[in-house]
Structure formats: C-alpha cells, structure tokens
Amino acid sequence: MKQISPDQLKDLIQGLQYRGYITIGPTLQNGAIVYSEILDINDLPIGITDSQKPGHYRTTQTNSNAIFNYVVGTQSIKRFLYPPIQKIFSAKFTEKKIEIQELDKPSQRYAFIGIRACELEALKIHDTIFSKSEFKNSRYTTLRHNSLFIAVNCSKAEKNCFCTSMNTGPEVKYDYDLLLTEINKNERHYFLLEVGSEKGEDIINEFDFSDADESEINEKYKVIEKTKSQIEKFLETDGVKESLLQSFESPVWDDIAKKCLACGNCTMVCPTCFCMTVEDYTDLERNSAERIQKWDSCYTLEFTYIHGGSVRVSVGSRYRQWLTHKFATWQEQFGTFGCVGCGRCITWCPVGIDVTEETTKIKKLSQLQTTSLEEL
Amino acid sequence: MQAMIPSSYRIQKFIKETQDTFTIELKSIESKNGFTFEPGQFNMIYIYGIGEIPISISGDPNKSGILTHTTRAVGIVTKEMAKLKKGDIVGIRGPFGRPWPVREAVGNDIVIVAGGIGLAPLRPVIYHVLENREYYGRIILLYGARTPQDILFRKELEKFRSRLDIDIIVTVDRAIKGWTGNVGVVTTLIPRAPFDPINTIAMICGPEIMMRYTIIELIKRGLGKDKIYVTMERNMKCGIGFCGHCQYGTEFICKDGPVFSYKEIEHLFGKREL
C-alpha cells in the first residue's frame, strides 16, 4: 500500500491523460455530483458533501478539503460504457440493397476516478449481461476492456445506502485497477493507494510514491468501519426471491401504484438497469436512415406494446415487473441480484418510494400467507 | 454487434392471403447460402426508415433458398409492409429463438392447434412433419378462424388434406352462407380429435386466451404438461436478450422462447399484465 498527497493525485491524473486516457471523475454540476470529464484535480468536488433521504438530495459546500466526501452521485458510470443514446447504424436505401454503415469500433479509453464498491459491483453485473451471454454487446465489451478503474472506499454513508445488505460494499475488495482511501485527519490530508491489477501496477510504476506505514494502513480500516457504522438501511435478502415470485397477485402492488408516478426515474439512475429501445429516423426524403438505441424504462406504457395494446397497463404491474426483476427474476437470468444497494432509486424517486421497505412488506405478507394458523 | 445489423432481402412474391393478412417470399441479396432456420423461429424484419418488428417464419424449413413470412397488417410496420410488392427490399436479422420440438416429437402423434394468424408459425412444422412423414404417428391439425373468409392458406390446407395421412379439422367462429363445416371455437374440436394422449406432442399458437382453453382441453384428454407447447408473443426490440422488453417472469421470450412447454411457464401463464 502506498500513500500519496493531493498533489500526487494531481500528478496521477495528469499521468493518465498523458497515456491517452479520458479522465472521468465526479464533478459538481447544477448542485449534484455528476461523472464527467475532468482535466485537473480542481474539477473534483472539493469540500462538497451530500445528504440523501427518500426523495431528497442536496449537496453542500463545507470548509473541508476532502474530495470524495459524498456517497454516490446522480448516475453511475453506466452512461459512458453503455451510453443513453447510441447509434447502431446508418443506412442508405438504393435500388440494389439497403446499404448499412456500421459504427467504427470505439477507440476511446476511459479512466474512471472515484467509483465506489457498489458501482464496481454493478459493472460486474453488466459484464455478465453484455459480455458473457450468447450474444455479445461488442461496444460495451471493448469500452470496458479498455477502461481503467480507480475506485474509492466510501468515507461516509447516507440514509439510502444499503450496500451491506446486498453484500456489495462499502469496502472495495476486487475488480479495481487502483484503489484510493481518503484520509483527512489531524490536519493531514492524504490518500492510501492500492494496486489491484497489472494495468494499475504499470501506471504506478511511473511514479515514486512512498509506502504507507502501519498506522496509515490502519486508518483505512477505521474509515471503512466508520462508514459501515453509518449505514442505517437494511434489507434482509433471504427469502426475498421466493416471496416475490409468490406475490404476483399481492395487494401490495396496488398500494404502491397509488404513490408511484411511473416516471421511470429509478430505472434511469439505476446502475444495473439495461433495458433499451430502438428508434429509426429518416431524412424527409427517406434517402438515409439511422437506427438509434436508447435507454428505456419498464415503467412506460409503450414498453410492452404489442398489437392491440400494452401488456402492463396498470402502474402496479409495471412496478411489480421492476421490483421482481431486481430482486427475483434477475437471479434466475444472471445469477445475482439486479440491485447493488446504492440507494439511487430511493433518492431520486420524486415520491420517495423505498425499495427496501416495499420488498420487506411483500416478504412479510407472503410469509404470513404461507404460515399456518398455529404458528401465528 | 453483428446480430443487430440487418441484411438485405428482395421480395420475390407478394401473396394476399385474406382480407388483412399477406405473405412475402424473400431471397437474400447479399448471400447465396440461403436461409436456414428451424420451425418456430422468428426474424426481425426491418422496413427501411419505418421500423423493425419480430415475425415468425412461415415457410418450408427444407427450402433454404426462399424465406417466407406471413403476417397481418395491424401496426405501423406491418401496415407499411402490406404496401410492398415484388422487387422491393427489406432488412432481415435472424433467425432467433427456440424452435418447436419437432425432434423431440419423433415417434409421437402430433396435434397442432392454431387460431387465426397463429397458423403461420406452425406451418413450418406441418411442412417438416409431412416431409419426414415416416418418423411421426398421426398428425392432426385443428384450426380455428373467425369466418370462412379468414381461413389462412386455404388452398394449401385443402391440398394437405388430400394426402390422407394428415387430419385437418377446421372450424369458424361465425359461419356465412355456403359454409357447411364446423362452427365454434377451436377448443370444441379437441375432445373428439383422433390422437393417442399417451404419445402425443401438442403445439399451440393463437391468442393467449385461446391457448389457455386449448391447454385445459388437452390436459382433460390426458396430455402431460410437458407434452404441450405454446409460442408466446411480447414486444421485442432486439431479439437477442438485450432490450428487456420481452421479459415474461424469468424468461426472455426472444431467446428462452418463443416456444415453451406448458410445464416451463405454467406458473406464469394466464397471470394478468405479466
């Protein structure tokens, strides 16, 4: 383990840029933490902290010089590896055929700075979907393969974090190239730096960073323990899958539907949601056409449209699809939960619907239904 | 992603089947290898600049030179398709999906139950079993159409019937003058259909409600749930399990289906708004 100063972090970021990486990190935009291209350490949200509750998100400027003193921003890095709007091809219509112009292989190399344990876990879930199934999303696979991941151990938790329940955080344990832990104590501000891959090793070798001593290393575990102790939200995941699969006809869905606006915010901020739709555009004379792939949401009525109408008409059925997918059917499809406990869907829900509460409610109800009267 | 890129096919023949259904026969422009598929699979059909939709293949799996699709003009894309003519070009991606169990059915009686346009995805099964007739027991097609004018592939059904080694029973919901055949829903044909329930594979395609009652009647006749197959339909944007639209409980209809045994999806079947 190394220890580096903020100035050395600045050098590290520059080093990545020299190597041709597009450096992506947290920035403050319109009052929210947003992943965006950064040119310098000063683009990072220095002294910014956030507060998150159901349906609530605020950032505030503090006197601290801490850089990563927030939990998770509006969106994960999904938008870089799996862009919200992406051309699939352009086409020209001739008498002889439809001439398809495919997109070039993506050449950009991203270095993601400041990504959290839950976001790395979401990345792993996308790897399973896009790179390990029968068909492959080659753009995602290429971009992801060419990227560098500089993770950060969370130094605080917010009210919507439930990563400990999902077994995804707050400690970053694997799948990183480099790992930072920010220490800001006794007037001393520095970062512990760990190497998690050959790629990371290769970068660090260019620098003359000094090793961390034992007391500094101990600080890392103190940070993680402190963060863990701040987590207030829990979801008992045992039996959730079975309960949800038994609850297709539960009255809970109608209750949620009374609150849910079917706005789709939760699906847009979710780091694992991967649904998309395809749209075709033409010029006015129909000489050239483009096919675009766009993030889609299972909360829209059009999502299930087939001749004659949509399958999921009621809002309750759409919420059921989303929640059941995240916590039950996802496991059958991809072997994991579709949730990493980042809490974004709770924060950005305009009416503050809490997945952990709703899931627990459904579980309790379903278990009551299968319990005999004597046991009650 | 190669699977997301359509290739060009030219329409060789446009056949108006009924009032609102039609068949297109296509030939590849880019490849001479023909198009191989298994009965029950589907393609994503791209109408230039309009959009793309999944449609099952309705042609003969043994004739790889020609790709055949039959559909009804109901939506934006199919209505545009209905205006196509010989020589026009469409884009094709596919074939996708799990086929009908024609291999597993070897040695069995086969009962095909179709409703309306649902006959189209089952026609490749009929071609296949008739071309490999010696491998199968009795072959029964039970077909229900709205009216006598809505009977799909009528000439061909009459030709098949003249073979004597296939039973074809047709019924209509509403008769018109001159119709002397059966009247009533297709499920009324099941109790008396001549098959041996112990060694029978059933393949069903039609509206979900029709499939549900067909399954009930077949089970009454003694068919096992694992011997009854249905093909499901949902919105699809990609055909390869990426867009998420066709999810049906744990299943992606595009790649885990569209053909399922009833046993596999019994817990999902008939659930509202799933």
Query: Is residue B256 included in any domain, yes or no?
Result: no
The answer to whether residues A89 and A291 touch, using CB atoms and an 8 Å cutoff, is: yes
Q: Which CATH number characterizes residue B209's domain?
A: 3.40.50.80
Same-domain pairing of B122 and B183: yes
Q: What is the pLDDT of residue A308?
A: 78
B114 shares its domain with B227: yes
pLDDT at A286 over 90: no
In the predicted model, residues of chain B with pLDDT beneath 50 are: none
From B50, B243, B247, residue closest to A280, measured CB to CB: B50
Residue A180 reports pLDDT greater than 70: yes
CA distances for A187 relative to A7, A8, A279, B106, B151, angstroms: 16, 17, 55, 79, 85
Tens of pLDDT, residue by residue over A313-366, are 999 999 999 999 999 999 999 999 999 999 999 999 999 999 999 999 999 998
Residue A374 has pLDDT above 80, yes or no: no
Confidence class for position A259, pLDDT limits 50, 70, 90:
very high
Q: How many domains does chain B have?
A: 2
Tell me what pLDDT residue A285 has: 83
Residues B150 and B85 both lie in one domain: no
- Asked whether residue B273 is assigned to any structural domain, the reply reads no
d(Cα A309, Cα A306) in Å, to the nearest integer? 6
Q: Locate A348 and state its tokens.
A: 């950005």
Does A102 contact B245 at a Cβ distance shorter than 8 Å?
no
Instruction: Please tell me the predicted confidence (pLDDT) of residue A212.
Output: 94
Question: CB A134 to CB B240 under 8 A?
Answer: yes
Q: Is residue B260 part of a domain?
A: no
For residue B52, which residues of chain A lie inside 8 Å, CB to CB? 278, 280, 291
Mean pLDDT of A82-96: 92
Query: How close is the nearest chain A Cα to the Cα of B45, in Å?
Result: 13
Report pLDDT for A307: 83
Please check whether residues B226 and B118 belong to one and the same domain: yes
Confidence bin at A96 (pLDDT 50/70/90): confident
pLDDT in tens, A113-166: 999 999 999 999 999 999 988 889 999 999 999 999 999 999 999 999 999 999
Mean pLDDT for the stretch of residues A160-173: 96
Beta bridge partners of B92: B7, B45
* Domains in chain A: boundaries: 2-86+105-230, 240-273+297-370
Q: Which of B5, B8, B46 sits opposite A97 (nearest CB)?
A: B8
Last residue of a domain, one of B194, B215, B231: B231
> Closest Cα partner for A120 from A161, A77, A162, A157?
A77
Residue environment code for B100-118, b if the CB has 16+ CB neighbours within 10 A, otherwise e: bbbeebeebbbbbbbbbbb
Do B20 and B74 sit in the same domain of this protein? yes
Parallel/antiparallel/unpaired status of strands B21-28 and B67-72: antiparallel
Cross-chain Cβ contact A102/B5 below 8 Å: yes
Based on the domain organization, do B118 and B227 belong to the same domain?
yes
Q: Does B250 reside within a domain?
A: no
Residue B27 lies in a domain: yes
Q: Which of B27, B46, B245, B274 to mutate to test the interface with A (most CBs of A within 10 A)?
A: B245
Please count the other Cβ atoms lying within 10 Å of the Cβ belonging to residue A166.
19
Q: What is the dihedral of CA A279, A134, A334, A174, to 10 degrees?
A: -100
B167 CA to chain A: closest CA distance, Å? 32
Q: Which residues of chain A does B48 touch, with a Cβ-Cβ cutoff of 8 Å?
A: 91, 93, 98, 286, 289
In a domain, B247, yes or no: no
Q: Do B48 and A275 touch (CB under 8 A)?
A: no
With b for 16 or more beta-carbon neighbours within 10 A and e for fewer, the A298-316 pattern comes to bbbeebbbbeeebbbeebb
CA distance B142 to chain A (A): 24
pLDDT at A369: 80
CATH number, position B83 = 2.40.30.10
* Residue B104 belongs to a domain: no
Same domain assignment for residues B63 and B138: no
Please check whether residues B120 and B74 belong to one and the same domain.
Answer: no
The closest CB to that of B250, out of A307, A308, A329, belongs to A329
DSSP state of A328: I
CB A290 within 8 A of CB A281: yes
pLDDT at A373: 64
How far apart are the C-alpha atoms of B236 and B242, rounded to whole Å?
A: 10
Decide if B249 is inside a domain: no
ipTM above 0.85, yes or no: yes
Q: Are residues B37 and B115 in the same domain?
A: no
Nearest Cβ partner of B234 from A249, A282, A311? A311
Of A306, A308, A317, the CB nearest to B273: A317
Q: Are residues B136 and B223 in the same domain?
A: yes
List the domain range (segments joined by +) for residue B183.
109-231
- Residues in chain B, how many? 274
pLDDT of residue A284: 86
CA gap A44, A173 in Å, rounded: 24
Percent of chain A with pLDDT over 70: 99
The one-character DSSP state at A329 is I
| CA atoms within a 13 Å half-sphere pointing along the CA-CB vector of B224 | 7
